[in-house]
Amino acid sequence: MGQGTFIFSNYIPSAGLDAPVSDANGDRLEGGNYMAMLYGAATADSLEPIVPAVSFLTGSNAGYFGGGVRAVNGVGPGAPAWVQVRAWDSRLGNSYEQVIALGIGGYGESILLHINSGGTLQGLPAPLLGLQPFSLLAEVPEPGAVVLLLFGLPLLLLRKRRFM
């Protein structure tokens, strides 16, 4: 029977697709420090990662990735699927979910797309039409021990005085 397939790329000029990904400062993501992964499913509330993740291109192609063809489980050829691109700073974690769990930014996601897949019955894999440029959330550094001590020490002293 086959599965619905997509071209995992955010730049296909012949299809009118040009959706670069940037960091919080507006600089396009570049190289192996940044990863992108396609998530997809038959329903919007059941998105699953479609491995493997790919790194971003470099130089004049910064902001773009090309990951080949990806099949979405549970979606037949030509059938609609829900898909989303998620990106992250791989220096913060090996997966999108790991970076989110840190709670300090360094990740981002595209809008959720509901588009028809390609595949064996439909012909060629479908491009991610409707994909828009997006940015990663700004990284917020974790407070250091000295900062925590400076803010916490007065509270501890105040609490100690109340109990004396």
- Kindly report, residue by residue over 54-95, the tens digit of the pLDDT: 999 999 999 999 999 999 999 999 999 999 999 999 999 999
- Interatomic CA distance for residues 20 and 18, integer angstroms: 6
DSSP 94: S
| String of DSSP letters for 42-91 | SSGGG-EEEEEEEEPP-GGGTT--EEEEEEETT--TT-EEEEEEEEEETT
Confidence tier at 147 by pLDDT (50, 70, 90): very low
Question: Confidence class of residue 148 from pLDDT cuts 50, 70 and 90?
Answer: very low
Which residues make beta-bridge pairs with 88? 35, 107
Amino acid found at 55: S
Q: Map tokens 């396609």 to a residue.
A: 38
Enter the pTM of the model: 0.85
* Rounded CA separation 27/88 (Å): 14
pLDDT at position 146: 47
Q: What are phi and psi of 32, to 5 degrees?
A: -70, -5
Query: What does the pLDDT look like over 29-57, one tens digit per residue?
Result: 999 999 999 999 999 999 999 999 999 99
